[in-house]
Structure 1
């Protein structure tokens, strides 16, 4: 087989696998088959970068010794052809994982059903002939990962450990049945580094024994880039959760880095997933996102929630109280502001703004009281109540339509976009 025939066969095989997930990334240019990196090709095809170097399902890598902390995870997944090494026989366990690479790993590891469809023509920065196009489409459609504002996926951006954990929790439809703050604060020394919007997913993954921390099991380091070794560990534990692989034996050294495993050696391995009451209720057709989408006044808001990935939490978690700016409220922002907020370089600012509109718990108009109300942005909004005028205000915005009920919370429409204190929109890139 010629190199050209090999590449064409590879892309045909990848395209046939499309159907399911997405979540975090960076924009790259069009990649031609001849310019694909060895790292990318190894992850996408499950074969070595060169067809002449028949590495196949090699499980013994020269840079992963028997005493390497993640060796059991790496060896097990390599044997299942979920992860692969490089033509020179290395695995590069400390190398950061890019979003596209993680999508390819997820595609190989799981067989989840699609929960949504990627609109044509797909992500702007993922051309049809890109090596991971099929994997990216699948992880998006199965709910593991999403795009970022501006209709891009950012495939070349390193994925953080937090983003990987959130992706796995979302794709496997996990939810926590204990106090979120309690799970996180008792498990991690750096619990404050977990942003409010991700506490549900992190808590659920922790409870499912899917989080692996090396060298300190109590140090999450959520914002650090995910390494290839960490990716193998988390994927293996996710497969344990699904009952597709057996838990590591208690005498294996790697188990000391599995959060909660030391206190729960008999890790459960369910053969089927049984969604709990919270999950089944909040994913119903009348969840917060579905209700907002059906309201013509919130088209801009719902678009931004979906672009940032917050929509997934608002569909599966709760209850929440959402102060939802109308389309007119977004249109009233200074000229060009909304467009800037949707640029990838301003995604963190947009996330903070959106979370500033969401408060934990459900409070109807009658239940709202004057004073500060904590939001998911870790900054409170100021509620003013005028009983005589039957009017509620949030900061300087008026509630123009209260008590829009959803299955996992309540929406109050407001006539202005709420901006966190000290946020200077003129500084947007």
Structure 2
């Protein structure tokens, strides 16, 4: 039986600033849940219908199948809230319900500092760690109320099911996803393996992974269903079911019903993208008595670390301006991050001048104009002025139409809610220039 975790009172303040606004917990998490001890029955029970999951909703087959087996449940008012983000604790609870993997490591004392003994998902979080699915953040934190990005969720399933890629992971990913460059280094190997195992489900565009966006409840149902198919615990959806159009690699010759027996290393801290298979690490795969650290670099890094992966010009500018350490700090921060294309749209001479030592302070003022104190996800942004670290406000505009398009001054948010350990990043398509800066007066 999994023991309960211990609480450090000093973690309460840190947790309060790292979590996003939480919605009311669904029925399945209203009290500490008990991990199931038997496999999900392949025979569906009574049909479960949710008022907000229409007959033609893309994920309905996944949601219904798992709800019939009590792996996921809805809310007391009869809704499922398919678009609601899944928190890390909730995903751990789903994993505990869905799988019965053997313990491969022991949670080191004193456990996760931000999970009290009486926390509703304490045992499920510990189980998800000890069976190899999930890991913590630096400093023995789990951040249970933090939404889980898609890359993390897919990585958790691949690690927990001991999947390995057949081929060069980076090449595999480029063949499937048009946004493969956004996949964090820690997730390259496991996402490649999960892709080949037909676990990944992308809606509405099968070639768009959106690895840094938060996982929704509908997406969680789809991933879990496909993982159970991989284990042979559930039957693949029939070919005439519309949802199969979003299963990556569904039409490939990869079997969905043969479970893997290959162990892989967790690749923690590794940025290698060329190893096709790896051997099991001695501390996680062949003993249930080994004590393993709760921390891992396989989870998203700080804002600056993520910028080095996906916003290379911004990363270079932050370093030049002396702001890298700021965005490595505790925060939390909200960063409106110009893409490399946004910086490239500036006159080449202007960008080169900004990166010169004599214009360092001007560059720092411009970059601080992109940073807001506190963590604000797209759902928390409001119309109107928002104060930045440059002491000048930006103007937030929200189009209530399709996809709630967000604009910051004249720039559009092209990818919201890129989760970091110390805040959140929203990618934008233009560089924001404070009104008190004249780029034509830069030092030459």
Give the TM-score range, shorter chain: 0.5 to 0.7
Q: 1:254 to 1:154 in 2, by over 3 A?
A: same
Q: 1:158 to 1:377 in 2, by over 3 A?
A: closer
- Alignment correspondent of 2:137: 148
Select the residue among 287, 290, 295 that pairs with 1:307. 295
The answer on whether the counterparts of 1:46 and 1:82 sit within 8 Å (CA) in structure 2 is no
Q: Deviations over 1:143-195 (max 9, x none)?
A: 11111012110000000111100111111111101121221111011111112
Distance apart, 1:43 and its partner CA: 3.3
**Aligned ranges 1:96-107 → 2 under 5 Å:** 96-107=85-96
Q: Deviations over 1:310-359 (max 9, x none)?
A: 4x9xxxxxxxxxxxxxxxxxxxxxxxxxxxxxxx9x74557899xxxxxx
- Alignment correspondent of 1:32: none
Task: State how far apart, in whole Å, the 2-side matches of 1:182 and 1:246 are.
Answer: 29
The answer on whether the counterparts of 2:199 and 2:223 sit within 8 Å (CA) in structure 1 is yes
The answer on whether the counterparts of 1:46 and 1:83 sit within 8 Å (CA) in structure 2 is no
- Alignment correspondent of 2:332: none
1:168 paired to 2:142: no
Select the residue among 43, 51, 62 that pairs with 2:29. 43
Distance apart, 1:92 and its partner CA: 0.3
Task: State how far apart, in whole Å, the 1-side matches of 2:114 and 2:198 are.
Answer: 34
How many residues in Structure 1 have an aligned counterpart in Structure 2?
A: 284
- Alignment correspondent of 2:118: 129
- Alignment correspondent of 2:213: 224
1:72 paired to 2:58: no
Select the residue among 193, 214, 231 that pairs with 1:242. 231
The answer on whether the counterparts of 2:48 and 2:68 sit within 8 Å (CA) in structure 1 is yes
The answer on whether the counterparts of 2:105 and 2:283 sit within 8 Å (CA) in structure 1 is no
Select the residue among 251, 257, 260 that pairs with 1:269. 257
The answer on whether the counterparts of 1:27 and 1:153 sit within 8 Å (CA) in structure 2 is no
In structure 1, the gaps of 5 or more residues are 1-15, 21-25, 30-35, 48-55, 288-292, 294-301, 313-343, 354-375, 380-419
Task: State how far apart, in whole Å, the 2-side matches of 1:207 and 1:127 are.
Answer: 38
The answer on whether the counterparts of 2:163 and 2:260 sit within 8 Å (CA) in structure 1 is no
Distance apart, 1:17 and its partner CA: 5.9
Distance apart, 1:18 and its partner CA: 5.8
Q: 1:425 to 1:42 in 2, by over 3 A?
A: same
The answer on whether the counterparts of 2:88 and 2:148 sit within 8 Å (CA) in structure 1 is yes
- Alignment correspondent of 1:285: 282
Q: 1:194 to 1:172 in 2, by over 3 A?
A: same
Q: 1:117 to 1:217 in 2, by over 3 A?
A: same
The answer on whether the counterparts of 1:96 and 1:227 sit within 8 Å (CA) in structure 2 is yes
- Alignment correspondent of 2:173: 184
Task: State how far apart, in whole Å, the 2-side matches of 1:250 and 1:46 are.
Answer: 38
Distance apart, 1:122 and its partner CA: 1.4
Distance apart, 1:309 and its partner CA: 3.7
Q: 1:146 to 1:352 in 2, by over 3 A?
A: farther
The answer on whether the counterparts of 1:19 and 1:114 sit within 8 Å (CA) in structure 2 is no
**Aligned ranges 1:315-330 → 2 under 5 Å:** none
Q: Give TM-score scaled by structure 2 length.
A: 0.57
The answer on whether the counterparts of 2:106 and 2:130 sit within 8 Å (CA) in structure 1 is yes
Distance apart, 1:267 and its partner CA: 3.7
Q: Deviations over 1:374-426 (max 9, x none)?
A: xx9999xxxxxxxxxxxxxxxxxxxxxxxxxxxxxxxxxxxxxxxx9757564
SS for the counterpart of 1:262 is coil
SS for the counterpart of 2:295 is helix
Q: 1:165 to 1:126 in 2, by over 3 A?
A: same
SS for the counterpart of 1:282 is coil
Q: Deviations over 1:40-60 (max 9, x none)?
A: 55236599xxxxxxxx97711
The answer on whether the counterparts of 1:19 and 1:138 sit within 8 Å (CA) in structure 2 is no
